[in-house]
Structure 1
Amino acid sequence: MGISTKTIRSAGAIGLLALATLSPCAALAQAWPAGPVRLFVGSPPGAPSDITARLFADQLGKLVKQPVVVDNRPGAGNNLAAMAAAKAEPDGATLVLSPDTVLTVNPHIYKNRDFDPKTDLVNVSIIGSFSQMLVCHPSVGVKTVGELVAKSKTERIMYGSGGPGVPGHLATEMFLDAAKTRMEHIPYRGPAPATQAVLAGEVQCGFLATPTVLPHVRAGKLAALAVSSATPSPLAPEVPTLAQALQQPGLDVSFRLVLQAPKATPPAVIAELAKRAQEVMKLPDVRAKLQNSDVTALGTTSAQAQATLNQEMVRWEPVVKRLGLTAD
């Protein structure tokens, strides 16, 4: 029996109706990205998080067949990059990659802001975690955490960081609290000048990015005492963790790199972004290259990212309050 013209027309009408009733969110997800994507980063070019962002952007661009352009906006503890993304159109064409301190610490110390990273941005995925390395100038004369703790109890020791509330500052304060000792904090305008200050002996010590300071450790210009993560750094497995050095199992002062989008970005686009982020972070080449930057590749769903960051907010709030941090 043949198919009538009326039947064909009816089938076509049903198909058109199905397309017309496709949910706007699903249609947006299918269309994303419609053009180039901008990825804001709050660190200067060449910094470990910038290297991570560029590797991620390159691989994401290959997956979605659109250019993903990194836009560096350093300053204010990564707030400038986060704010630029928060004020962008919520269409999935603008993202930001930040350390989790933007959410866990900055809202407590940057009071004069016209945006809130906890409500004006959506957490898409945690793409990786990283730690810091405790280094001291050779003139301090210490080679272990125990020696530094003992010296800090009898002498004035200054440590440098990239500013109030940055990972290096927080890692040092967690260390000092665990060791029941004190050192004087000297904040700088970013991790690069803080590193130079330790190298010059302007300050004695600092928790700084492992890939940045390790060449100076190898050259004998700095002494490496510990890493802040729960496990040794693959770049320097001979350097003990803080937990090992202080004999405090469970002590882990690591941080996360969070991919975020403007708050009104459609949920379907967020889900698609998270899916793509997970795909990128599973690539063996990406994981290997990130390891060379002392970053552990992760890749989570949006819900997993939010749950983890909620825990980190609870963890860091009392530390920030105890220190009375302020940056305004």
Structure 2
Amino acid sequence: MTPQPHTTIRNPRRRLALNLAGAACMVAALAAPLAAQAQAQAWPTKPIRVVVNFPPGGAADQLARLVGQPLSEALGQPVVVENRGGANGNIGGEVVARAPADGYTLLMSSGGMVSVNPHLYEKMPFDPAKDLVPVAAAARVLVYLVIRPELPPKNIQEFIAYLKARPGKLSYGSPGVGSSPHLAGEMFKSQTGTFATHVPYRGAAPALQDLLAGQIDYYFDPGIALQQVKAGKLRLLAVGSPQRSPLFPDVPTLAEAGLKGFDADTVFGFYAPAGTPAPVIARLNTEINKVLALPMVKERIQQLGGEAAPGTPAAFHDRAMADSTRFGTIIKERGIKAD
């Protein structure tokens, strides 16, 4: 084969144009990371909206407001909390998934929207695994089995026996189908061989109000009922977590009561629209972790019955995927479907 001769650009103007084009590409490549860094340094320049995908008064709402104030001080901009409840978190989740990916709209949600909802709904209006990115975990939320004090059982063993003797005659509430308290109730019925009627509500606070009013008999509480327990208005029988709560060290876990491996904990945290610049996610993660380390924030989360859960976005994602496997099993076993 005859070698091809080297091509020489003889037109000086064309050669100059090609050189300038090449130089422009190099400048653009070098400028991209600098632009991202500059964007992160400039951000934020206006208020940040935190959408809570559950009604006011629940664990997600309280955590958003607890973290929001010190986060606002750290970022130098207002953090405005907006409640958009419904569809087990899907409505608020979609609002954020469709928002501009600029760091000015965040989601505070239970982990269930990512780990549970895809198992409940045949079709969701968005894909939480693709349309949202984890920013920072806020708290590990425990669930507490509480009952009306008028009921005779004084401990968990007596309560299980009481339920078994009255199949279908008692009812329990939850913040909604597929919520962690609902799944805790189904795990409890599955492992104890009992049956009670599930009454779903639009949030944890309405369920608690009906429990206090005697409209339902028991409830797996995500922490908002603990003040009522301390006041003697409700009776706490057990904790649905692998470990006892430091608030109630004498109250056994359900695992200790014989329900092997019982774990209904979930991790609540912050998400952002997919495509949010990585430097902005990193800044948010750093500042939220600093807020969670504040003694008054840690203490308040503990008063709510949870535990502060600082960590990386990757660790938050991994926990959600593990929960998806665990909760997906009970959803399939019990035939749970969204309303």
TM-score, normalised with respect to structure 2: 0.84
Give the counterpart of 1:196 among 204, 209, 212.
209
Q: Is the 8 A contact 2:226 2:305 kept in 1?
A: no
Alignment of 1:161 with 2:174, yes or no, is yes
Q: Provide Cα deviations, 1:244-265, integer angstroms capped at 9, x if missing partner.
A: 22263x5332111121000111
Can you give the 5+ residue segments of structure 1 that lack an aligned partner in the other structure?
1-15
Q: Is the 8 A contact 1:41 1:97 kept in 2?
A: yes
Which residue is 2:245 aligned to? Answer: 233
Instruction: Give distance in 2, aligned partners of 1:254 and 1:224.
Output: 17
RMSD of the alignment, in Å? 2.2
Q: Is the 8 A contact 2:163 2:195 kept in 1?
A: yes
Instruction: Give distance in 2, aligned partners of 1:164 and 1:19.
Output: 50
The verdict on how the C-alpha distance between 1:141 and 1:115 changes in structure 2, with shifts beyond 3 A counting, is same
Which residue is 2:279 aligned to? Answer: 268
Deviates more, 1:284-293 or 1:259-268: 284-293
Can you give the 5+ residue segments of structure 2 that lack an aligned partner in the other structure?
1-26
Instruction: Give distance in 1, aligned partners of 2:239 and 2:120.
Output: 25
Q: Is the 8 A contact 1:179 1:246 kept in 2?
A: no
Which residue is 2:137 aligned to? Answer: 126
Which residue is 1:187 aligned to? Answer: 200
3-state SS of paired residue (1:245): coil
The number of aligned residues is 311
Q: Is the 8 A contact 1:60 1:276 kept in 2?
A: yes
Which amino acid counterpart does residue 76 of structure 1 have in structure 2? A
Which residue is 1:101 aligned to? Answer: 112
- Kindly state the Cα deviation for residue 310 of structure 1 after the two structures are TM-superposed: 1.4
Instruction: Give distance in 2, aligned partners of 1:152 and 1:22.
Output: 62
3-state SS of paired residue (2:209): helix
% identity of equivalent residues: 40
Which amino acid counterpart does residue 226 of structure 1 have in structure 2? A
3-state SS of paired residue (1:119): helix
Equivalent residue runs for 1:1-328 within 5 Å: 20=31, 22-156=33-167, 157-210=170-223, 212-246=224-258, 248=260, 250-328=261-339
- Kindly state the Cα deviation for residue 89 of structure 1 after the two structures are TM-superposed: 0.4
3-state SS of paired residue (1:258): strand
Post-superposition, which runs of at least 4 consecutive aligned residues in structure 1 deviate over 6 A? 16-19
Which amino acid counterpart does residue 234 of structure 2 have in structure 1? L
TM-score, normalised with respect to structure 1: 0.87
Which amino acid counterpart does residue 233 of structure 1 have in structure 2? S
Q: Is the 8 A contact 2:47 2:104 kept in 1?
A: yes
- Kindly state the Cα deviation for residue 274 of structure 1 after the two structures are TM-superposed: 1.5
Instruction: Give distance in 2, aligned partners of 1:154 and 1:172.
Output: 18
Larger radius of gyration: 2
Q: Is the 8 A contact 2:164 2:193 kept in 1?
A: no
Which amino acid counterpart does residue 108 of structure 1 have in structure 2? H
- Kindly state the Cα deviation for residue 307 of structure 1 after the two structures are TM-superposed: 1.5
